[in-house]
Structure 1
Amino acid sequence: METEAIFQSLPTLPLFFLMFFITYLIAYFIVFRNWSPKIRPEASSCFISLAHGTPAVFLATRAILADPNHGFAASNTEFQNSVLDYSIAYFLMDLVHYLVFIPSDVLFIGHHLATLFVFVTCRYVVSYGAFAILFLLILAEVTSACQNAWTLANARKGDVEFAAKLYDFLSPPFYTLYSIVRGCAGPYFVYEMLVFYMSGVADNVIPRWVWISWICVVLTAIAVSILWVSNLWIELYRQSTIKLEKKKIR
């Protein structure tokens, strides 16, 4: 209850945005100050992603379990709205990062805009359906810690031996977990959402254009995620084959 009370008593969206902005500056100017200027922005983005991902999983889980009436058509609780603000603030800050440092990355910018659309419509337009959106948030961020550690290791594997070893160590379990979550759990949950919303039960609180747009955004994100991790599996297999051939030659 203390966590909920703190969240509900604060102007959460601007406060959280300021928090992520300061965290980004700390990462850029202090934590990664000795890293190459080419990878410092990406590393700083990973840093705020770490600050968002795992806490978001716990907060979203708490917000869902704390609501006895949770369901696809349930009204948002104040705590759920605060958790949505937490994620909105993160995606806004990371969007600023991409617009400033990597404006050509249309895929990630589009991803962030689409994600913000889902969170903002749930939080500020209809004020219903937070259960579904927060559950999807849990599925999306449960791999965050491993993914960001893997990304940071990937960025330095060329010049730091430990990073290369960490990258090789994390790749198989990360790919496996990511594949299960994005390839199995995610699609199943979206199917349950679709069946419920198509029944028309929620039409009086969540307009059809809203839930249809949610489904389209999530399905697109899942499809891109599956394509991305499939390419990673292919590359891992290719690298493993090359290493095996080198051992045979020796």
Structure 2
Amino acid sequence: MEALLLLLTPTVPTFFLMFLLVYLFAFFLVFRNWDPKHRREASSCFLSLSHGTPAVIMAVHALTRAPTPRSFASPNAAFQNVVLEFSTAYFLMDLLHYMVFFPNDILFISHHLATLYVFATCRFVVHHGAFAILVLLVLAEVTSSCQNVRSIASLRRADAPAAAKLYEFLSLPFYAFYSVVRGILGTLVVYKMGVFYASGAAAGNMIPKWAWVSWMVVIVAAILVSILWVLNLWMDWFRERSRRGQKKVK
């Protein structure tokens, strides 16, 4: 069955077309009655929803079915390459969205370009290291569903009580889940990757030094930004709780 799936594996352009259709479906149908700014943001969230959970399922399957022995420098297995292509197409589509509608959002554009660099070099240049990249992809996307539903609810919470309630309901669990996954598990995996690569275990023709050093720079920067982002969310949450408490006292 898996062999048949690999024979039918779509390429990056085919995956890109799929994500383009998902985006257009969201933009012209799902959110067609929203105001222009929120319509664009919600369409991007919808696109992310279509990528996040499927990417986690595919990556877990690719990791658990990978040939042994497994290491951060293992050759890419066939289905691992499929997952890399799937995520590459998503980030290309979302990058296009930001460049068209939010060209001044340098942080997101830089994030997408850096992520695409890691995926593309792992898949098409180095041909090793997908095991490490897919572990990080799972950690990055496992919070995607909660994050994007919360983000869509946030866009309508000012004028839709149900959206405001959903936003409030999801916020605390999302902050806690994201903190554990990115702040603790993500940091641990990145540390283990750094120790592995710095030890010289990936030397030679497996993963050249320029590749793993550049990957680590991108990944460490992404982890740090993620931690800072969720810390800022926690501070906003505590400030809001404090403000509400003061109102009750008055």
In 1, Cα distance between equivalents of 2:74 and 2:223: 24
Paired position in structure 1 for 2:172: 172
1:113 partnered with 2:116: no
Which letter does structure 1 place at the counterpart of 2:224?
A
Distance in 1 (alpha carbons) for counterparts of 2:163 and 2:92: 29
With normalisation by structure 2, the TM-score equals 0.97
Aligned partner of 2:194 in structure 1 is 194
Equivalent in the alignment of 1:234: 235
Counterpart for residue 79 of structure 2: 79
CA contact (8 A) 2:66 2:77 kept: yes
Q: Partners of 1:106 and 1:125 in 2: how far apart?
A: 26
Aligned AA (1:73): A
Kindly provide the CA deviation profile for residues 93-120 of structure 1, in whole angstroms up to 9, marking residues without a partner as x.
Answer: 0000000000000000000000000000
Query: Matches of 1:60 and 1:128 in 2, distance apart?
Result: 15
Matched, 1:35 2:30: no
The answer to whether the 8 Å contact 2:122/2:130 transfers is yes
- Matched letter for residue 131 of structure 2: F
Where does the alignment leave 5 or more consecutive residues of structure 1 unmatched?
Answer: none
Deviation string, structure 1 residues 185-234 (Cα, Å, up to 9, x no partner): 01100111111111112112100110011111011001111111111101
Question: Which residue of 1 is the match for residue 44 of structure 2?
Answer: 45
**Aligned residue number for residue 134 of structure 2:** 134
How many residue pairs are counted as aligned between the two chains? Answer: 248
Please say if residues 143 and 174 of structure 2, whose CA atoms lie closer than 8 Å, have aligned partners that are also in contact: yes
One-letter code aligned to 1:78: A
Tell me the residue number matched to 1:208: 209
Change over 3 Å in CA distance of 1:7–1:248 after alignment to 2: farther
Question: Using the alignment, how far apart are the partners of 1:165 and 1:39 within structure 2?
Answer: 18
One-letter identity of the residue aligned with 1:181: V
Percent identity between the aligned chains? 58
DSSP-derived class of the 2:36 partner: coil
CA contact (8 A) 1:8 1:78 kept: no
Residues 76 and 129, structure 1, Cα contact 8 Å, conserved in 2: yes
4+ runs of 1 displaced by more than 6 Å? none
Higher alpha-carbon deviation: 10-19 or 136-145: 10-19
Q: Which residue of structure 1 lines up, in the alignment, with residue 156 of structure 2?
A: 156
Q: Name the structure 2 match of 1:10.
A: 9
CA distance in 1, matches of 2:127, 2:191: 22
TM-score for the superposition, normalised by structure 1: 0.97
Check whether the contact 1:8–1:82 (CA below 8 A) recurs between aligned residues: no
1:97 pairs with 2:97 = yes
Deviates more, 1:67-76 or 1:45-54: 67-76
TM-fit CA distance, 1:7:
4.2
